[in-house]
Structure 1
Amino acid sequence: MPALSSRPDPDSPLGKLMATLPQGGRVEWIGLRPARETAMIEVDAVEATAGAGLAGDRYKSGSGKRGITLIQAEHLPVIAALSGHAQVAPATLRRNLVVSGIPLVALKGRRFRIGELVLEGTESCDPCSRMEEALGAGGFNAMRGHGGLCARIVEGGTLRLGDTVQAL
């Protein structure tokens, strides 16, 4: 399997800085996309399958590198401000999880635990052209750099609201 990112040597000064996180995070919201261009379904808990995705989500099958998508709770007000809205509902952005307290960018290319699950950050979750429709003109650009993270499910289980997020 090819490297997920060009991380520095873990023993180098930069490698040590990149591995240090001040705190864990928390799952604030869970949503499922049952089909393309349909409303998301908000849930309190969902089953996650290793190498696949979340039960009831349209990305449940396939390569698994986009088995689950996450967005930073702290970025929601930024996206709202940049798109001219007072607030943006998580379902509008079509990510599976809203996570607070931990910088998702620091989890790209590494494994992390959310409750029972072990995930591996695979790539940035860049916005799609549908954000123009969802947020209005400029919505795509409002989300650039704030789209979140795609992850592969390494170990499945039940994912619940309030689960902690910890880098491994």
Structure 2
Amino acid sequence: MTLPPADSELGKLMATLPRAGRVEWIGLRPARDEPMQAVERVEATTGVGLVGDRYKSGSGKRGVTLIQAEHLPVIAKLAGHAAVAPATLRRNVVVSGIPLVALRDRRFRIGDVVLEGTDACDPCSRMEAALGPGGYNAMRGMGGLCARIVEGGEFAIGDAVEALQAGS
């Protein structure tokens, strides 16, 4: 996705966010087909991923996966459930109060960590087993954001999620 020039009207609109977000939940995937482990805080390694999470890659484009807390009740409703636990959706971080789509192709900070939104985190076929028939489609458009770790460090539940200005 190519962003409009920062000084254009659309560029200014896309750079303006109502407020910072907040980390609500953190989870690690220790191994394939293993249950997620909820943690209070996590260490992020630059260009790699989260310590204790099985997804680590050389490019780091999917070093962290995030999902919007406000989307969880919608996904649950569309999948025919009263609620859906964050671990069911297998994303590392649940955030509230900031639109994740606005962080794609930009840098943002959580705790000590600087991340860059790289791509939409589309659902996988495993969501059919996790949510039941139609689970994949219940998540479409609400699967969250993949991010690479630009500057490592730690972050925890309750930390702010803040977009950074270009060049930060």
TM-score by length of 2: 0.96
Structure 2 residue 114 is the aligned partner of structure 1 residue 127: no
1:48 matched to 2:39? The reply is no
The one-letter amino acid of 1:12's match is S
Structure 2: segments with no counterpart, 5+ residues: none
The whole-number CA distance in structure 2 between the counterparts of 1:60 and 1:100 is: 25
Partner of 1:57: 53
TM-superposed CA distance for 1:73, in Å, is 0.2
Aligned to 2:147: 151
Aligned-residue CA RMSD in angstroms? 0.6
Match of 2:73 in 1: 77
In structure 2, what is the Cα distance between the partners aligned to 1:99 and 1:16? 23
The corresponding residue for 2:97 is 101
Q: 1:19 aligns with which of 7, 15, 20?
A: 15
Q: Give the TM-score taking structure 1 as reference length.
A: 0.96
Which consecutive aligned stretches of 4+ in structure 1 deviate over 3 angstroms post-superposition?
none
Taking every aligned residue pair, what percent have the same amino acid on both sides? 76
Any unmatched runs of 5+ in structure 1?
A: none
Aligned length: 164
CA offset at residue 46 of structure 1? 1.1
The equivalent residue for 1:163 is 159
CA distance in 1, matches of 2:10, 2:41: 37
Letter in 2 for 1:65: K
